[in-house]
A and B are shown apart, each in its own frame.
Chain A
Amino acid sequence: MSTTGPDMSGRTRDDLVSRPWRGAKRHYDLFKELTIGILVVGLLTLGLSALLSSPDDTTVTLRQWSRSAPADFIATATAELGGTSDSAQYGPPYNSTPDATQTLGPIDLQSLSGVRIPIDTANDFVIEPLKTLPVPPAAIRVWTAASDAQRTAWTTDYTAALAAAPDNDPSRVKKGAYGPVPALTHALLLMAGNGALDNVIQAPGQFYNMDYTRGILFLGDGAYFPGLAQAQHLTGDQWGVMNETGNYPGQSWLWLFSFWYQIEPFSSAPNADLLVVFVMLVLSVALMLVPFIPGVRSLPKWIPLHRLIWRDYYRKK
């Protein structure tokens, strides 16, 4: 054996570690151990399930949002009309807002797919759903006939007015030139409150649907839905990636992924997601390649926990 100690790499050599074991054996029953393992783990799993159950917080619907936080709903609907919401400004794959993507120097992966899930927030979240009403509001024609500049002016002014109103209450907004925006957003609020918007926004005119992109984006653009998540410690800056609702354990194996979002430079970086994904990819590959990394692969030699594991063997050496 080498005088510098055991070879900590994974290399195959003509040595004791690489050859099949020719020394003392012990009795071992694979199938019996597997059976015992399944029984023990089964008891644990079934026992924990019976005792502690599992979380199932009901979904948040647009109906619930409109009824619980109407001011927030109206403000968000206004932002969707004005193209100023997070979704409207997201960039690919939803739309082609310039400079919206997360980049790392010249690397711009977000643009690769192009606009493959096109979302036009003003039309998809507000106008088109309203058009499906039995009596679509007349305000739709006013909106459709207006120029982009006029629409922007209306929505910008109404957004400011809502923010300035007491409790952001749309009914206590200062009088101003907001065009059809108050009527449109109010009509949408009523539509949502009746439960009609939830289905229509996801898959207009269709019976079947399994794509909830629009509903999720619309919900996320407001403050109500993220606020509920914040209350449950589920947001990115609360280690939310690894958490679960209530006191249930979440995905504790995502601890390191969650960690990066808590510290600079990630926590205030506009491209935080891209950075964290890169860091975790590098670390994951590094973990896979530990046998090839000098120093790291020698840690077991320097911190000899193995002397506990194999203490019987070493005693009889």
Chain B
Amino acid sequence: MSHALELLQTASGPGLIFSWGPFAIQVGNLVVITVMIVLFVLALFLPFPGEKRRK
């Protein structure tokens, strides 16, 4: 449990940043926001299991 991959800790170094103009996003936040958008789109498009109609 303690030997986490710690992929995200860069040993007190700065994180990875992507920037365009006034916009700058850190990679962790970028992943979170991307996952949210993907989840939303998937939720809209993925078919929902057929219903059992209640008589």
Contact = CB atoms under 8 A, between A and B. Distances in A.
A220 B50 CA distance: 59
Contacts of B7: 51-52, 247
Nearest to B24: A239
A227 B22 CA distance: 20
A28 to B, nearest CB: 9
Contacts of A263: 22
A34 interface: no
A244 B45 contact: no
B10 to A, nearest CB: 5
Kindly state the interface size class of chain B when it binds its partner: 20 to 34
Nearest to A231: B14
Contacts of A308: 44-45
Report, nearest first, the 3 A-B pairs whose CB atoms are least far apart.
A249-B28, A53-B4, A26-B51
Contacts of A250: 26, 28-29
Interface string A20-53: 0000111100000000000000000000011111
Interface of A: 24-27, 49-53, 55, 57, 231-233, 238-239, 242-250, 252, 255, 262-263, 305, 308-309, 312
Given A53-B9, A252-B32, A233 B4 contact: no
Contacts of B25: 239
B38 interface: no
B21 to A, nearest CB: 9
Given A55-B9, A246-B9, A252-B33, A24 B28 contact: no
Given A239-B24, A247-B27, A27 B8 contact: no
A51 B4 contact: yes
B46 to A, nearest CB: 10
18 contacts: A25-B53, A51-B4, A52-B6, A52-B7, A53-B5, A53-B8, A232-B14, A233-B26, A239-B23, A239-B26, A246-B12, A247-B10, A248-B8, A249-B31, A250-B28, A255-B33, A263-B22, A308-B44
A238 B13 CA distance: 16
Contacts of B54: 25-27
Nearest to A254: B29
Contacts of B13: 246
Given A232-B14, A238-B24, A247 B8 contact: yes
Contacts of B12: 57, 232, 245-246
Given A50-B1, A252-B29, A246 B10 contact: yes
